[in-house]
Amino acid sequence: QVQLVESGGGLVQAGGSLRLSCTASGRTFSGLTVGWFRQVPGKERDFVAVIHSRGHSTIYADSVKGRFAISRDNAKNTVYLQMFSLKPEDTASYYCAARTKDWSPGVTFSYEYDYWGQGTQVTVSS
């Protein structure tokens, strides 16, 4: 079992920055691919970014490419999502998720993930 806890959400003005953290416990973290997803009420959970278990590879959604950066510190069992140039449309609940499968094209799909955090709210005001 893996427990994931997100933190770092909040209210920020458009153009501002936030850094989200996802801290894991319960299993060897360095063996897990970790992704970030976001969801607004009434809509599906959308892929944001993902990072390989060793940090070798990353993938970003087109909507955040160039503005968000995902990274990890396996010694701290933590994955970060640094968000720059935030826009009102980035407003959502942000979730981190972990999967035990090897890296594959499926890492951008929410159903490929085994463990989820409880989410953290990000609100960007215009």
Q: What is the mean pLDDT of each run of 10 residues along the chain (126 residues)?
A: 95 98 88 96 97 93 98 95 98 96 89 96 97
What's residue 102's pLDDT?
Answer: 82
Tokens of 118: 């409880």
Residues with Cβ within 8 Å of residue 40, at least 6 apart in sequence: 91, 92, 93
Residues with Cβ within 8 Å of residue 22, at least 6 apart in sequence: 4, 5, 6, 34, 36, 78, 79, 80, 81, 96, 117
Facing residues of 97 across strands? 35, 116
What's residue 30's pLDDT?
Answer: 85
Positions of E strands within the chain: 3-7, 10-13, 18-25, 33-39, 46-51, 58-60, 68-73, 78-83, 92-99, 115-116, 120-125
What's residue 101's pLDDT?
Answer: 84
What's residue 121's pLDDT?
Answer: 98
